[in-house]
A = this chain, B = another copy of it.
Amino acid sequence: MPKYKIIARQMMRKINSDDMKQGDKLASIEELMKYFDVGKNTIIQVLTLLERQGYIYQVRGSGNFVRKHRRHGYINILEANGFQSTLQGFRLGSEMLDLKIIKPNTEVMANLDITAEEDVYYVKRLRSIEGRKFAVERSYYVKDIVPYLNQEIVEESIFRYLMEDLKLKPGFTDHFLRVGKLNQENAELLNLNTGDPTAFLESIYYLENGQPFDYSKVLYHYEETQFFIQGTNNMEL
């Protein structure tokens, strides 16, 4: 891992700790250079990354300040490595309901930009938090890119496996969110009633080269889930 990421992780842990609060001023670039014993470019890379990840904000002419995640128990939609990092401290579970290799239907073909002949892994999982069911997930992985999945991987963390073992280089993500009513099958899986509200999140994950590799559809339990979406300097234009 490059030096700037190691330093950024260290600073994120510090910011997440109780020592720092919203609006606290960070040490100056010079001080950070001295403290971490690195050059100015590395510190600039660290600060750019921290700002993009929503951990700090820059005020032109006066420095960098801490930005705190102000509410707990929310899923950060923009943290794509699953729920593992956002819901730290909570006991999370994944029960595999189905895993098989299939041919894509037209919806999956369109979202993964593949032909009807290509194989995809279909994964159906029931996610839980502190033993309470909170989401039903149906995901489709392009088999050309993800050649192998098994129950152990699926119940642990698919994303960790893809990034750390398969060394995939993730790029960007599109999320589509709607609200609707649960049908009977999904209501039963979530211990809810048919017609109860649900958040329906569709996500398409792309590799660094722009190729989609994962199309995922998740239905969330409306009482167990809340989302956090952090905008960084989005009003620039």
A interface residues with partner B (beta carbon < 8 Å): 5, 8-9, 12, 22-23, 49, 52-54, 57, 59-60, 65, 67, 70-71, 74, 77-81, 163, 170-181, 196-199, 206, 208-210, 220, 222, 225-237
In the complex, the count of this chain's copies comes to 2
User: Which chain B positions have C-beta within 8 A of A79?
Assistant: 234
Min Cβ gap A234→B in Å is 5
21 intermolecular pairs with C-beta atoms under 8 Å apart: A12-B237, A49-B237, A52-B52, A52-B233, A54-B172, A57-B206, A60-B208, A70-B174, A80-B235, A163-B235, A172-B233, A174-B229, A175-B230, A176-B226, A176-B227, A177-B177, A177-B199, A177-B226, A179-B197, A179-B199, A229-B229
| A67 CB, min distance to chain B CBs, angstroms | 7
CB pair A172–B236 under 8 Å, yes or no, is no
In this complex, what residue of B is CB-closest to A220? B179
Once the chains bind, are A171 and B57 in contact (CB under 8 Å)? yes
Q: Give A48's nearest chain B residue, CB to CB.
A: B48
List, in ascending order, chain B residues with CB within 8 A of A80's CB.
Answer: 231, 234-235
A5-B237, A57-B208, A177-B177 given; 10 more Cβ-contact pairs under 8 Å: A49-B237, A52-B233, A53-B237, A74-B176, A78-B229, A171-B233, A172-B234, A174-B231, A175-B231, A199-B199
**Closest partner residue, chain B, to A74 (CB atom):** B176
Contact B237 A172 (CB under 8 A): no
